[in-house]
Amino acid sequence: MTAFAFEISTTDGSARRGRVTTAHGSFETPAFMATATAATVKAMHPDSVRATGTELAICNTYHLMLRPTAERVNELGGLHKFMDWPGPILTDSGGYQVMSLAKLRNIKEEGVTFRSHLDGSQYELTPERSVEIQHLLDSNITMCFDECTPHPATLDEAALSMRRSMRWAERCKTTFKPRPGYALFGINQGSIYPDLRKESADHLQKIGFDGYAVGGLAVGEGQKDMFRMLEATTPYLPKDKPRYLMGVGKPDDIVGGVLRGIDMFDCVMPTRSGRTGQAFTWQGTLNMRNAKHLSDPLPIDDSCSCPACKKYSRAYIHHLFRAEEMLGPMLLTWHNLQYYQDLMKELRLAIAEKRLAGFAFSFHVRQNGGRIEPDDDTEVMLE
Same domain for 153 and 27: yes
Average pLDDT, the chain: 95
Give residue 373's pLDDT. 54
Residue 368 lies in a domain: no
- CATH at 180: 3.20.20.105
258 and 114 in one domain?
yes
Query: What pLDDT was estimated at residue 378?
Result: 43
Same domain, 262 and 281: no
Q: Can 266 be counted among the known catalytic residues?
A: yes
Decide which of 210, 231, 266 is a domain's last residue: 266
* 257 in the same domain as 185: yes
Q: 12, 263, 266, 301: which is the annotated catalytic residue?
A: 266
Residue pLDDT, tens place only, 165-174: 999 999 999 9
Q: For residue 340, what are the contacts with CB-CB under 8 A and spacing of at least 6?
A: 32, 52, 251, 254, 270, 280
184-201 pLDDT tens trace: 999 999 999 999 999 999
Q: Are 259 and 292 in a shared domain?
A: no
Residues in the chain predicted with pLDDT less than 70, given as ranges, are 372-383
C-beta separation of 111 from 125 below 8 A: yes
Same domain, yes or no: 17 and 91: yes
Find the domain containing 33 and state its range: 5-266
Considering the domain architecture, whether residues 229 and 318 belong to the same structural domain is answered as no
What is the pTM (predicted TM-score) of this model? 0.96
Last residue of a domain, one of 241, 266, 291: 266
- Look at residues 235, 251, 266 and tell me which one is the last residue of a structural domain: 266
Q: Are 143 and 164 members of one domain? A: yes
Report yes or no: 376 and 292 within 8 Å, Cβ to Cβ.
no
Same-domain status, 203 and 113: yes
Is 92 among the catalytic positions? Answer: yes
* From 12, 92, 146, 252, active-site residue: 92
Residues 194 and 311 in one domain: no
User: DSSP secondary structure string, 250-269?
Assistant: SHHHHHHHHHTT--EEE-SH
Number of domains making up the chain: 2
Is there a single domain that holds both residue 26 and residue 73?
yes
